[in-house]
A and B are shown apart, each in its own frame.
Chain A
Amino acid sequence: MKEEAENLLKELWLSVHEGLKERGDINDSLREYLLDEGLIKFVNDKISLTEEGERRARKIIRLHRLAERLLNDVLGMGESKIEESACKFEHIISDEVEEAICTLLGHPTVCPHGFPIPPGNCCIKGEREVERLIFRLSELSPGDEGVIKYVVGGKDLSNKVVSFGLLPGEKLKIIRVFPTFIIQMGNTQFALDRDLASAIFVLKHENNGEKKEEEKHGFFRKRRRKGWE
């Protein structure tokens, strides 16, 4: 019952906020249930969401799209599987898990299909304590490598980024972060400013952070040893 009801809320929400066609058929028991829970109301025979219904629906959409991001960006699942799993996912994620996932993903604002993800509390607070996988390009340091996952920003910005060839799936390596960001993609280097760099979300490759640490230490160790001699 719960899953079915949530799906209905979702559809109502989408029809209001994103202009998708709503499904006509609601069976009586479902309607009873939703009315009882105070999630929908009827005005002039037209069904609409109550405030509570709206809140719940928004949450479900958010969970669905976060799940899509997770499955797509981190787990690299295919299109058909994503839809199927995301639809299950959205009904079972708890609040804490939701925030953890969102933070892990760097608080994404659009789903892989380009639809907006309604922000949650964690996005507003910009939480960081969970170990993250996805970073804004502007948060990376020289030597880091990763894969572009998505870009956040208005249509103009994303069109620009697209036409520059900064596309999801492109591998990049950070060369410098000061005074501008310089990245290497394929056999060419590009310079970009901080605004652009913070609109680009990158899945960072694991081992590189460690390697960089090592190099740094290596350097100092050598220097220090010289000093002792």
Chain B
Amino acid sequence: MEKRKRKIVLVGSPNVGKSLIFHNLTGKYATVSNYPGTTVDITIGDIKGTNCILIDTPGMYSFIAITEEEKVARRILFDGPDLVIHVADAKNLERMLPFTLQLIEAGFNTVLVLNAMDEAERLGIEIDAEELEKRLGIPVIKTIATQKKGIDELKKIIKNGFEKHEKELIKLNSAIGRMLKNVSRLIEGEYPISKKMISILALAGDSETLKMLKKERNFEEISEIAGKTLKSYEIFRQIQESANNIIDGVVRQKEIEKGSLRDKISALSINPYFSFPMALFSLFMIYLFAGILGAQILVDIIESGYEDYINVPLNAFLTENVENYWIRELIGGEYGVITLGIRYAIAIIFPIVTTFFIAFSILEDSGYLPRLAALLDVAFKKIGLSGRAVIPLLLGLGCGTMATIVTRTLETRKEKVITTLLLAVGIPCSAQLGVMMGLAPDFFALLIWISIISIVMLVVGKVASKTVKGEDSLFFIELPPLRVPNISNVVFKTVTRLEWYFKEVMPIFVLVSVVIWIGRITTMFDLVVGALAFPSKLIGLPEEGGLILLYGFFRRDYGAAGLFDLTSKGLLSYSQTIVAMVTLTLFVPCVAQFGVMCKERGLKTGLGIFLIAISIAFSVGYLTNLLLNFIL
């Protein structure tokens, strides 16, 4: 009989290195980046050489769960793991320990991992792990995940288990202590965590806990005690005090020299007079990398190579060997799976997306993004968002679908809806962006395009912030230390993202070719293109514009690539190119993004956003055309 696998969970605050430790233990990659909230979902892997599965969870600060991904993490805990590994940032032990105490008091088999010891040492912090072990009654392990230090020791503990010493770690006094006793006396049911911790959560007014307690016989009384005042603050203060008492004498701070180069750069990075130009500069670097190197140089090389070495010989081969026209057209010709679908994916999308993801990964790992979020918070508040939204929006420049998933890290519904809307309406994805940049006839056209898109985004954001209901979000973000990006991590992350991207993209590209093929056989294709030709003409584009819009729906980048084809054939005039760029950028999100939108925000909101995007695209396209005819 096969033994049940032991379930081990990694938890801890955002950005403490959970994902890296997960990678070290399982060999499997979970997204690692230097900003809080990278992991929005759980990742599961086997720990090599053991009969355990390991779960990487999104960051959580404490048992009180606020954002969705914190709730995800907590649900895993309530699922009853065999072992909980609390990963803590060694240089901030004081702030981390309360959660350790909560985990232990909740009754979990807990191991405390003090990660990033290298940074703690650099700050002159010394931690007496043995003493801490004694005081907590659980194993405490120091690690440096980036150098794989301490991982073996951790593995040993996982394999061999350990003896836990029961201790009362959270001491609540006075009124709160009495209330706690009262509440826990009233609770009768069995819960995945200890009665003490359930009571503490109930007293702190945690809504999910109270929901869980609903079936209690004494629920009325419990919720009456719990609902009376704002006790959570006092409870957590006392937990912090308990933690401080435990730490006392365990952590020592040595004198160190201040004002290293790193400190200076860090100080500069939050100085608005410096960081604003720096933000523009980093955007410019992304542009250089993804827009010029990716979208122009690499695309040119691969495109022409593909044309010369695949399309031409393939078509020649088909004409010679395949009699049936339609079969020839399925594979080759103008719209074939290989000549169109796979060519788009490999020759146009691949270089752009790759270069963008590399640039973004470097930015992510440097720790600059949270600083950018802090810089932009005030401006974002004007459109109903908080600075945190900068991360999904920027990622949206890479892939809108991925970015829509990342909106989970945002706190309020309002913020999520507005960000999803902006991603759907105005944020062009990297492929689209790259093609647009390569496509723009000159700088002036690019400028018009950027201005129109920015204005539309601002207006949409402003209107949405007034109409979307819900509370405004508060902005709070930890600024992680600036770190030199680790090359292997950047590569690894880019590869993982690419893998994800292609798993999603390739089939759709092939499918679209097939759908077009079927459409052409049945003449449905002509019908739809014909129908779309009307709005296309309305906004001043040639009839073929309808075709691009249709492509655009299957995938935005697909549409962009189609547009690229069209202009290189010289079918579009100067102003038509701009109109097409604007309309296609604002046009509906691609099928994949639309799907994710509906999944994350609900069908109704998803559909709503879809319709809004279409209307905006056409009306702005129309206005742009008028404007251009007027000024040119």
Taking beta carbons and an 8 Å cutoff, which residues of A are in contact with B?
18-19, 79, 110, 112-116, 150-151, 154-155, 157-165, 167-170, 175-176, 178-180, 182, 185-193, 195-196
Please give me the residue from chain A that is nearest to B374 by CB atom. A191
Known: A159-B66, A162-B232. A179 touches B378 (CB 8 A): yes
Name the one of A151, A163, A167, A182 contacting B66, with C-beta atoms under 8 angstroms.
A163
B254 → chain A closest CB, angstroms: 13
Which residues on the B side are within 8 Å of A110 (C-beta)? Answer: 229-230
Q: Which of B293-301, B470-478, B580-588 contacts its partner?
A: B470-478
Q: Is the CB of A196 within 8 A of B175?
A: no
Interface size on B (CB < 8 Å)?
Answer: 58
Q: Which are the 7 A-B pairs with shortest beta-carbon distances?
A: A191-B374, A193-B475, A162-B236, A114-B230, A189-B479, A187-B91, A163-B61
State the CA gap A41–B377 with chains docked (Å). 56
Known: A176-B271, A191-B477. A114 touches B229 (CB 8 A): yes
Q: Does any Cβ of A come within 8 Å of B520's Cβ?
A: no
Q: Which of A112, A113, A159, A176 has the most CB of B within 10 A?
A: A159
Please give me the residue from chain A that is nearest to B175 by CB atom. A113
Q: Does any Cβ of A come within 8 Å of B173's Cβ?
A: yes
Q: Which of A162, A169, A170, A189 has the most CB of B within 10 A?
A: A162
Which residues on the A side are within 8 Å of B64 (C-beta)? Answer: 159, 162-163
Which residues on the B side are within 8 Å of A159 (C-beta)? Answer: 64, 66, 204-206, 232
Q: Is the CB of A179 within 8 A of B240?
A: no
Chain A interface secondary structure, helix, strand, loop or mixed? mixed
State the CA gap A46–B202 with chains docked (Å). 34
> Would you give 6 A-B contacts (Cβ < 8 Å), ordered by A?
A116-B229, A162-B64, A162-B204, A188-B480, A190-B479, A193-B377
Q: Does any Cβ of A come within 8 Å of B123's Cβ?
A: yes
B246 → chain A closest CB, angstroms: 15
State the CA gap A164–B31 with chains docked (Å). 23
Interface residues of B in 369-384 (CB under 8 A from A): 370-371, 373-375, 377-379, 381
Q: Is the CB of B475 within 8 A of A196?
A: yes
Which residues on the A side are within 8 Å of B91 (C-beta)? Answer: 186-188
Name the one of B92, B237, B240, B474 contacting A193, with C-beta atoms under 8 angstroms.
B474
Q: Is the CB of A163 within 8 A of B477?
A: no
Q: Is the CB of B237 within 8 A of A155?
A: no
State the CA gap A110–B60 with chains docked (Å). 27
Interface residues of B in 252-271 (CB under 8 A from A): 266-267, 270-271
Q: Does any Cβ of A come within 8 Å of B536's Cβ?
A: no
Which residues on the A side are within 8 Å of B123 (C-beta)? Answer: 187
Q: Does any Cβ of A come within 8 Å of B233's Cβ?
A: yes
Which residues on the A side are within 8 Å of B270 (C-beta)? Answer: 175-176, 182, 189, 191
Q: Is the CB of A190 within 8 A of B234?
A: no
Please give me the residue from chain A that is nearest to B62 by CB atom. A163
Q: Is the CB of B92 within 8 A of A188?
A: yes
Which residues on the A side are within 8 Å of B81 (C-beta)? Answer: none
Known: A163-B64, A191-B475. A185 touches B95 (CB 8 A): yes
B74 → chain A closest CB, angstroms: 11
Which residues on the B side are within 8 Å of A168 (C-beta)? Answer: 233, 237
B89 → chain A closest CB, angstroms: 8
Please give me the residue from chain A that is nearest to B244 by CB atom. A169
Q: Does any Cβ of A come within 8 Å of B272's Cβ?
A: yes
State the CA gap A110–B237 with chains docked (Å). 15
Q: Does any Cβ of A come within 8 Å of B593's Cβ?
A: no
Q: Is the CB of B272 within 8 A of A178?
A: yes
Known: A113-B234, A114-B231. A190 touches B474 (CB 8 A): no
A211 → chain B closest CB, angstroms: 16
Which residues on the A side are within 8 Å of B387 (C-beta)? Answer: 180, 191, 193
Which residues on the B side are within 8 Å of A154 (C-beta)? Answer: 230
State the CA gap A97–B477 with chains docked (Å). 40
- Contacts A114-B232, A159-B64 supplied; 10 other A-B pairs, CB < 8 Å: A110-B230, A155-B230, A159-B232, A163-B61, A164-B61, A164-B476, A168-B237, A191-B477, A193-B381, A193-B474
Which residues on the B side are within 8 Å of A191 (C-beta)? Answer: 270, 370-371, 373-374, 377, 387, 475-477, 479
State the CA gap A23–B370 with chains docked (Å). 55
Known: A159-B205, A159-B206, A176-B270. A190 touches B478 (CB 8 A): yes
Known: A19-B228, A162-B233. A180 touches B378 (CB 8 A): yes
Q: Which of B89, B95, B373 has the most CB of A within 10 A?
A: B95
